[in-house]
Amino acid sequence: MRATIIAAFLAASALVAQDLPRFRWESFTTANGLADNRVYSVCVDGSRIWAGTDNGLALYENGKWRVFTTVDGLAHRAVLSLALDKKTHTLWIATMGGLSRYSAGRIDTFTQLNSGLPNDVVYGVTVQGDLVWIATAAGGARYDTRTNQWSLFNERNTPMYEIWTYGVSAAEDKVYYAVWGSGVLEYDVKTDRWLKYDDPDGENEIVLHKDEGLIHEITTSVSYVNKILWAATYFGASRYDGRNWRNFLDKDSGLPSNFLNQVKSVDGTRTWFSTDKGLAYYDGAQWATYRPGLDTHAPEMLVRDAAGTVTHVPVTTAPAFHYTFGVDFQNDDIWVATAKGLSHGIRIKPGDK
């Protein structure tokens, strides 16, 4: 009887897992050449992997790591965010000491002293054609790479009342800023106007108006893909399709935690969440969490179906650590920046063992 139950459980788990991505995880640490184990950001450029660490920028290429530091011209050792200009393969590097630009081996740095950058603490960066959008501790900025013009966005010319911008996401029509303590800012490219989205509950930590607006004012990351906005906060996640909001909390979704460092959507629906308690994935109905067990440290893959049933999918590997900072995609694979190393999730496809 007991064997039958176990077999049924495993079969059910496998069935669930078939619909959600499964990975074989490999991790990099200082032991195999990574600059530092604290990896804040990761960026995929074809077969090359960039990792922003607490101790420099690392490039994984042809099976080897190469590290760039302030000696090479990097603005600061702590690399918080990375953005790739896919046309030119220029890498924009947000650091705690300015914005750097890597192009074919040369690093140039922009600071608040030598350029129009508003502040040297740069949390986020993204590329929109010839424009680079930047999130700093003193507001947002837009750098026109054609004219070298800097445009700054702060409390004087946008609706933000805090200027601590934490993340930025841009598409052709809109640009969104995650403003730590001031919700989400939207810039409309066509009208050159700003709009602000706030938590309808105001400063309250209690969610009174669920799905009526942004889940919380302390936003950390935004992702705008296919006209769908995702916002990550330290108190849950929100999705906005231009008309309706939907909020996600750990108590009523598959999020392992409400403390989110990054949200990154693949197509507006399929979305990844980097939290302090594991990496989460949402496909529009089901959730999955990938992590070493919080207590056991044993590899875990938790699946929550649309009905709210949680199952454990047996796995043998997991990301390096449950505290995750961000992800990027390499075809079907995923790379995950964690507080204890960089992990490569190699997609297990149907039929793979």
Give me the residues that bind other proteins (CB under 8 A), please: 87-90, 101, 103-106, 112-116, 118-119, 130, 138, 145-147, 149-152, 154, 156-157
Q: Which two tokens stand for residue 261?
A: 């460092």
Residues with Cβ within 8 Å of 346's Cβ and at least 6 positions away in sequence, in order, are 23, 24, 25, 26, 333
Q: Which amino acid is located at 268 in the chain?
A: G
The total number of residues shown for the chain amounts to 353
Q: Closest CB to other proteins among 151 and 204?
A: 151
Nearest to 127 by CA among 173, 79, 168, 183: 168
The answer to whether the CB of 90 falls within 8 A of the CB of 69 is: no
CB of 218 to other proteins, least distance (A): 24
Q: Closest CB to other proteins among 120 and 217?
A: 120
Q: Closest CB to other proteins among 147 and 331?
A: 147
CB of 330 to other proteins, least distance (A): 18
Rounded-to-integer distance, Cα 219 and Cα 210, Å = 16
CB of 242 to other proteins, least distance (A): 29
CB of 211 to other proteins, least distance (A): 37
CB of 87 to other proteins, least distance (A): 5
Q: Which amino acid is located at 251 in the chain?
A: K
DSSP letter for 30, please.
G
CB of 325 to other proteins, least distance (A): 28
**Residue 34: what are its φ and ψ, rounded to 5°?**
-65, 150
Nearest to 281 by CA among 82, 44, 19: 19
Q: Closest CB to other proteins among 130 and 212?
A: 130
CB of 150 to other proteins, least distance (A): 5
Q: Closest CB to other proteins among 160 and 255?
A: 160
Q: Closest CB to other proteins among 139 and 319?
A: 139
The answer to whether the CB of 43 falls within 8 A of the CB of 328 is: yes
Rounded-to-integer distance, Cα 277 and Cα 260, Å = 9
Q: Closest CB to other proteins among 158 and 275?
A: 158
CB of 149 to other proteins, least distance (A): 6
Q: Closest CB to other proteins among 73 and 293?
A: 73
Furthest-apart CA pair in the chain: how many Å?
A: 74
Residue-by-residue DSSP string for 93-153: EEETTEEEEEETTEEEEE-TTTSS-S-S-EEEEEEETTEEEEEETTEEEEEETTTTEEEEE
Q: Which two tokens stand for residue 127?
A: 């590329």
